[in-house]
Structure 1
């Protein structure tokens, strides 16, 4: 499987398994099954309450830990340095692992000491317990402040990104600064299955609209995607999207779709209009 690598120690398969909102044994089973099918990138977070379930799969699978990329995240109310470190250690224990491959700040918060938080994040990378670090849900001005103002060695940014929500400015910035962009909710919570243009492209190629949507993302330089899929059929379908090649006509149809349909917008979200 194609991987995204960069100077900040990232080595991440372009397609991963998103685990929210799977819990308990169902989550463990889904991760085990995904690893058996060939997935080598698992995405979780402290806030998902499923790190232990993911850890159970990592322990039980025959796939060596060093072959699996694991991303986890710290919640926005745990960003004071001591709390951040404590959250990280809890994640390691839950995952039954000595390290994580990528550790992200899940959401920015307000009235925080950003330099102290970023210093604490960087310390985890320097300790070797987090191979790479990054952020999620940061608008462009905040991302720029962390990268250029604070000099943080960010390896990845994770944001909502799909055929109905464009992230062109963030992606351009990430490409310019050797930062991978991971798309969460890449299937727009399955809304892509109802888009006539995607249905037409899918029919033309004998595939599913979800595969078209994933292929569009994965074909882009510097972009990874972490669709959630519990069942074997959907996991295989998403894997097979890696082998799909869209043509110029397909890409033009997708480019013409509205790119303003944000689905994840909690009360604590930052000002998305910044930099868009």
Structure 2
């Protein structure tokens, strides 16, 4: 699959083997086509089993994983990606991210390994996660392959205007994790008002607000089939310009993911 869908499935903290596999297969059969995992999530095997069990062709699934920050040396990127492929039970990935630009990350050593994986066809696209604009500039200057996606915490309480503008100008996807702010959007007056106006939920309003933005997709995580359906149906919610302006005007800058602790509290 060439592009991620507007609403994908995040799998962080879904480490129960049976539950993880079930939620992935259920999501795919519900209509989800974008599945996001990571080496650090310790669930790639279960995600792979869910993809295998779903009555959906692998070519129709946009699958992404991330290389953790202690394996970002050149040879480690290559070997750890092979291990991810084995755990996922796939021959290639649609998208491979640098999870965090720290620890063993060095642009001049790490990114050529991503280029090699891209050139040989093991990965379709190169992604970055949790980068600053300056780090994006360095990566763009180092990579031969284009930056396809940049994954960051993004929700109405952390709107990421600068990174969103960068994504639009560079024409890459901004992939929003924690898109409902761990449920905090439920307690925001402006979002409650928009939800009441449309007879829907604050979670769906937050996801629809993200989906309405150019170059943005969201990957809410859930292990509940009810929330899985609720999140997916957010794509059907059409916010009007007034709704979007109301949410855009929320002047809060609340980062819920502490980079020093991540990804354990995503």
| TM-score bracket for this pair, using the shorter chain length | over 0.9
TM-score (norm 1): 0.91
How many aligned residue pairs are there? 261
Q: Residue 199 of structure 1 is aligned with which of 192, 211, 226?
A: 192
Contact 1:17/1:43, CA 8 A, preserved across alignment: yes
Instruction: Map residues 257-276 of structure 1 onto 2, 5 A cutoff.
Output: 257-267=250-260
Deviation, structure 1 residue 71 = 0.5
Match of 2:4, SS state, is: strand
Residue from 141, 146, 151 that aligns with 1:153 = 146
Residues 185 and 203, structure 2, Cα contact 8 Å, conserved in 1: yes
Q: Secondary structure at the match of 1:135?
A: strand
1:274 counterpart residue number: none
Aligned to 2:10: 18
* Shift in Å, 1:119: 0.5
Do the aligned residues in 2 keep the contact of 1:215 with 1:244 (CA within 8 Å)? yes
Aligned equivalents of 1:155, 1:268: Cα separation in 2:
26
Give 1:191 deviation, angstroms: 0.6
Contact 2:70/2:104 (<8 A) preserved:
no
Q: Distance in 2 between matches of 1:31 and 1:258?
A: 35
Matched, 1:166 2:159: yes
**Alpha carbons 1:101, 1:131 under 8 Å: kept:** yes
Give structure 1 stretches of 5+ with no counterpart: 1-8, 270-276
1:230 to 220, 223, 238: 223
Native 8 Å contact 1:146 1:152 kept in 2? no
Match of 2:173 in 1: 180
- Residue in structure 2 matched with residue 5 of structure 1 by the alignment: none
Instruction: Say if 2:154 and 2:177, in contact at 8 Å, map to a contact too.
Output: yes
1:92 is aligned, of 69, 73, 85, to 85
Question: What are structure 2's unaligned runs of at least 5 residues?
Answer: none
Does residue 53 of structure 1 match 2:46? yes
Aligned twin of 1:133: 126
State the shift of 1:268 in Å.
6.8
Mapping of residues 7-86 of structure 1, within 5 Å: 10-23=2-15, 24-86=17-79
SS in 2 for 1:59: helix
Runs (4+) off by over 6 Å? none
Output the TM-score relative to the length of structure 2. Answer: 0.94
Distance in 2 between residues matched to 1:52 and 1:150, nearest whole Å: 29
Partner SS, residue 26 of structure 2? helix
> What's the offset of the Cα at 1:266?
2.8
SS where residue 55 of structure 2 aligns?
coil
Q: What is the DSSP-based 3-state SS (H/G/I as helix, E as strand, rest coil) of the residue aligned with 1:78?
A: coil
Structure 1 residue 112: Cα displacement? 4.3
1:247 aligns with 2:243: no
Q: Distance in 2 between matches of 1:151 and 1:86?
A: 21
Post-superposition offset of 1:195: 1.1
User: C-alpha distance in 1, partners of 2:139/2:2?
Assistant: 18
Question: 1:151: how far off?
Answer: 4.7
